[in-house]
Amino acid sequence: MGMRSLSGLGTKTRWAALAVRVLVITLLAGAMAEPQLRRTAEDVAVTVVVDASESVPASMQSAVDRFVEEAIEQNKRREDRIGLVTAARGAFVQALPTQLNRSLERNHTGELDGTDLAAAARLALAVMPKDAANRLLLASDGNDTVGGLLEAAQAAKALGVPIDVIPLRYRYDSEVILDQLVAPPTARQGETLNVRVVLQATRPSSGRLSLLLNGEPIDLDPADDSSLAKAIELPAGQRTILIPVTAVVSGAQRFEAIFEPDIAGGRAIGDTVAENNKGMAVTFVSGEGKVLVLADSPEEAEPIMTALQRARINAQYMHGERMPQSLEDLNTYDAIVMLNQPAFSYSEIQQEYLRQYVHDTGGGLVMIGGPNAFGAGGWIGSPLEDALPIRLDPPQKRQMPRGALALVMHSIEMPEGVYYGKKTAEAAVNALSRLDLAGVIEYSWNGKTEWVHPLGPVGDGTAIKRSINSLQFGDMPDFAPSFQLALAGLKKAEAGQRHMIIISDGDPSMPPASLLDEFRQARITVSTVGVFPHSGGDLSRMEHIADYTGGRHYEVTTQAGLATLPKIFVKEAQTVRRSLIWEGPPFSPSVLGVASEAMRGIPSQVPGIGGYVVTAEREGLSLVTMKGKEGDPILAQWQHGLGKVVCFTSDASTRWARQWVSWPMFTTFWEQHIRWAMRPGGSANIRVVTDSQGDNTLVTVEALDAAGERLNFANFTGRLVQPGSEGIDVTLQQTGPGRYQAIVPTDKAGSYVLSLRYAAPDPSTADGILEGSVQAAIVRPFADEYRTLEDNSALLVQVAEMTGGRVLPLTTPLEQRTLWDRTNLDFPVATRSVWMWFAAIGIGMFLIDVGVRRVRIDPAAIARGTMALFRRGEATKTQSIDALKGAREQARERLAARGASPADLKAAAKQAERQAAAVAKTKFEASDDELKAAKGGIKVVGAESGGPPIIEKKTEEKKPEQKPGEGLGRLMQAKKKARDGMGED
């Protein structure tokens, strides 16, 4: 089509242009076709899934490792890949499929008391490489406690990935399992409970059965005075033993059954696994409402205990440090009253239990103040703080004297010194408010004693905790430098209370007596904590420092005592929190008169108080019913989760509330507030039944009204407290007349506490609503892993058949362990788009196409021009040399005619050469001298004749004077001449 436009080209050029044009069109057409390079994979990747749960014997897991490693050694194709995933309660990738893996290294960091093979299979499918054919190798006993492996196998089949299986076969021929311990979830006080113990045995065996109630053994064999346990014979199969137990007291009753097999020859007869020989159950026995009063002395609790007795509320006194250690035991009480309790009396887990007791189980909490309560007692930053209707840290607008605390850390020589050193320092900081001052001093390994964190406001604690984490804990040789630093910093601090805590083994040199005198004069107290001293003298020196400065001395010399260190530091940090206490002449708090059931009937004029702990109001649903000076809350209440909380910032003794103790309304005041906070009484017509379904439990509630009819349209809501974690919300749905159900997760071994509140329409009540609460416990004494007595190989064979895999027993010969078998595998095809290369080359060829058609290139002319250029350069060079020679000869002749000496002849020759060179260089151009001479009226002569240039000065010619009319006339003549010339053109 374009041949006509090429008619002006030569034959060769014309065919070249045609070829380039065809190539350009071909490349651009290829780019629009979007071509791709295609490559078929040739290697195979095998991802091994190993069951690491406790149901698989460790010897079998090691055998799987050897099985795979031997297969790797005999595989000839080094480009094949292998990876590893371990399965238990969770799944973890141990190694991605690569060519570098030549062995299997298992390190499963999750829990081993469960098996989720489906999660492991899905994870293996997720990490398999996309550029290779893939196989999965599953080594397991097939006991999938979670279930879902078949669904994961369906996904593998859809992806064309076969699953080979290694069945791990075993069977426990001699095993006894305490399958169930069944006790009613709820009961009434005095009722006889039928506790059922269900045992399973694989063959006839014998042993002894024990039953404990709240940790105390029950006599199951009165005829045998030597033991409280009962000797039993177990046939092969299942046996149920019924034990009647009378519910004597109310609250949570914990049952624990233990089976102990007979021993012969040092081995258990008929039993292999000991973990499945125990069972637990909890029954909540309802009775009269019960209140727990926590105080540090009976004298301090006496006014409240007397008021509760008068109000006929069942109350029990207990020292704060003996508070129940479990959530189930706390739920024995409907409310807890804390009188002037410091935070250091309770461990962090106990504080968390108190919060869960209120929020998750619906218990009531009444916190009454005193010098050791609220913020002054170290509760700032504690887990319980969030459950209180007041803020323990006063606002900045409330001008309170702040405290200053200096920490001197020297704990490296005790066991786990770094860990406990940081832990104790953080505990002390957490007990301070954001306005208090705190600083940390230590002796570092570089030989310097310095402020790791200078004394300053705590704020949110981030900065000082970062400094604590960077502590080096060097071995301090002398106490004096650290005491001097602390003294200088604390003396400058604007604080109402200044305190120093030092923790050490006591071996550094004692500070001089004069330095300790300065501490006394500045009223800075020093408390010492002696840990693992080298001698008794070290502790005595530290005790002297504390006594001399008015502080306290503590000693920790055992491994068990290390756990008390954080409590000690919290207690000492409270020393600087005394600034949160207001004490003064008694005044009468103002009653706000807000609508509150707990304040019903309480007069607006209440007795005076002489002190209280300063706090602040909390935003939200908190209700402040009584205020003190400057608007500080004295009495506040709210509902937190399922429970209720009341806070009274003054005390209930004669220290601050002497007038209140003798007040006629004292009993009424505290009875109403404690009853308001107490958990609502349970109904005898509510029955809770739990049914274990794998990792979940079905909760069923049968509800009747007061007339014994089915209770319909009730609203059941509550919380389930899981072992070792937060609670979860539970809502029951009505599934039948008076029947409500919910499924809750119970996949962990331990005790679960379920607390429910309900409300239903009831015309028989005064307000037309029937309300109440009910509790139940779900107990899993051991994981389902310990219930398996043999493997489930049938499931593994089904998975292999479904996905086209193979069954490879551990006894498979080495030559048949072809883990990377390529039979029936779909090798992926990798494609790579190359249209961009086509387009780029086509655009480049298009430029060449334009050049061939539009640019005329004559190679012969180019060659001739190049040669002429070189010849011209040679001619110029020759002409210059000839000119130099001629100039030199002429100069010699003139000088010789004048009688010049040889030296003058030589100098003249050189000058002539220079002038000739200048002339040759600028033959047609004026030199710099000529330009300058022209400006100054200088004329150069003699150059055209070949001789040396002679410069002559021009004389100015005097122009004749023009007459007035001559200039214009000359211009007119020039104009006429120009017109004539244009006309000729």
Report yes or no: 811 and 161 within 8 Å, Cβ to Cβ.
no
| Spatial separation of the C-alpha atoms in residues 351 and 384, rounded to whole Å | 6
Indicate the DSSP class of residue 81.
E
Residue 727's pLDDT is: 79
DSSP string, 753-796: EEEEEEEEE-TTSSSSEEEEEEEEEEEESS-GGGG--B--HHHH
Banded model confidence at residue 944, pLDDT cuts 50, 70, 90:
very low
Give the type of residue at 747. D
Q: Which residues contact 33 (CB under 8 A, 6 or more apart)?
A: 835
For residue 912, give Cα distances in angstroms to 481, 849, 878, 904, 915.
94, 59, 17, 12, 5
Q: Which helix (H) or strand (E) holds 40?
A: strand 36-40
Task: Report angle CA 878, 882, 886 to the nearest 5 degrees.
Answer: 170
Radius of gyration of the chain (CA): 50
List Cβ<8 Å contacts ≥24 apart for 383-388. 383/348, 383/351, 383/352, 383/354, 383/355, 384/351, 384/354, 384/355, 386/355, 387/354, 387/355, 387/358, 387/359, 387/640, 387/645, 388/618, 388/645, 388/647
Indicate the DSSP class of residue 475.
-
Residue 136's pLDDT is: 93
Give the residue carrying structure tokens 């490693």.
Answer: 69
| Spatial separation of the C-alpha atoms in residues 891 and 907, rounded to whole Å | 10
**Spacing of C-alpha 351 from chain mean position:** 23
Instruction: For residue 672, report the phi and psi dihedrals to the nearest 5 degrees.
Output: -65, -40
Banded model confidence at residue 619, pLDDT cuts 50, 70, 90:
confident
| Spatial separation of the C-alpha atoms in residues 50 and 106, rounded to whole Å | 9
Give the model confidence (pLDDT) of 577-591 as tens digits.
556 888 889 999 999
Give the model confidence (pLDDT) of 736-794 as tens digits.
888 999 998 887 777 888 888 888 887 766 667 777 788 888 887 777 677 777 888 89
Give the residue carrying structure tokens 């009653």.
Answer: 591
Report yes or no: 789 and 272 within 8 Å, Cβ to Cβ.
no
Banded model confidence at residue 935, pLDDT cuts 50, 70, 90:
very low
| Spatial separation of the C-alpha atoms in residues 583 and 655, rounded to whole Å | 10
Q: Which residues contact 26 (CB under 8 A, 6 or more apart)?
A: none
List the one residue out of 373, 378, 379, 492 whose CA is nearest residue 439. Answer: 492
Residue 627's pLDDT is: 93
Indicate the DSSP class of residue 447.
S
Q: Which helix (H) or strand (E) holds 666?
A: helix 666-677
List the one residue out of 290, 296, 396 whose CA is nearest residue 651. Answer: 296
CB atoms within 10 A of CB 472: 13
| Spatial separation of the C-alpha atoms in residues 806 and 893, rounded to whole Å | 117
Residue 11 scores a pLDDT above 80: no
Give the model confidence (pLDDT) of 588-609 as tens digits.
999 987 878 889 888 989 999 9
Residue 740's pLDDT is: 93
**Spacing of C-alpha 296 from chain mean position:** 39
| Spatial separation of the C-alpha atoms in residues 422 and 553, rounded to whole Å | 20
Specify the range with the lowest mean pLDDT, choosing from 95-109, 377-391, 560-574, 577-591: 560-574
Please provide the average confidence, as pLDDT, over all residues in the chain.
81
Instruction: For residue 78, report the phi and psi dihedrals to the nearest 5 degrees.
Output: -75, -15
Give the model confidence (pLDDT) of 682-699 as tens digits.
555 788 888 877 778 899
Report yes or no: 577 and 375 within 8 Å, Cβ to Cβ.
yes
Six-digit token string for 716: 């059941």
Banded model confidence at residue 165, pLDDT cuts 50, 70, 90:
very high
Residue 938's pLDDT is: 46
Strands (E), 631-705: 633-640, 643-648, 686-693, 696-703
DSSP string, 494-543: --SEEEEEEEE-S-SBPPPHHHHHHHHHTTEEEEEEEES-SSHHHHHHHH
Specify the range with the lowest mean pLDDT, choosing from 274-278, 543-547, 843-847: 274-278
SS3 label, residue 382:
coil
Residue 942's pLDDT is: 47
| Spatial separation of the C-alpha atoms in residues 191 and 195, rounded to whole Å | 12
Give the type of residue at 490. L
| Spatial separation of the C-alpha atoms in residues 703 and 216, rounded to whole Å | 33
Banded model confidence at residue 899, pLDDT cuts 50, 70, 90:
low
Residue 56's pLDDT is: 84
Residue 800's pLDDT is: 92
In the chain, pLDDT over 90 holds for what percent of residues? 21
| Spatial separation of the C-alpha atoms in residues 64 and 54, rounded to whole Å | 15
Residue 36 β-bridge partners: 833
Give the model confidence (pLDDT) of 17-63 as tens digits.
888 889 999 999 989 998 888 777 778 899 999 998 888 888 888 88
| Spatial separation of the C-alpha atoms in residues 144 and 136, rounded to whole Å | 17
State the pairing for strand pair 335-339/364-368: parallel
Residue 470 scores a pLDDT above 60: yes
Q: Is 549 left (phi over 0), alpha (psi -120 to 50) or beta?
A: alpha
Q: Does pTM top 0.75 for this prediction?
A: no
**Spacing of C-alpha 812 from chain mean position:** 45
Report yes or no: 787 and 55 within 8 Å, Cβ to Cβ.
no
Residue 525 β-bridge partners: 499
Residue 15's pLDDT is: 83
Residue 4 scores a pLDDT above 70: no
For residue 359, give Cα distances in angstroms to 22, 141, 413, 483, 523.
83, 42, 42, 46, 43
**What's the average model confidence in pLDDT over 290-311?**
92
Residue 959's pLDDT is: 46
Residue 814 scores a pLDDT above 80: yes
Give the residue carrying structure tokens 């869960």.
Answer: 356
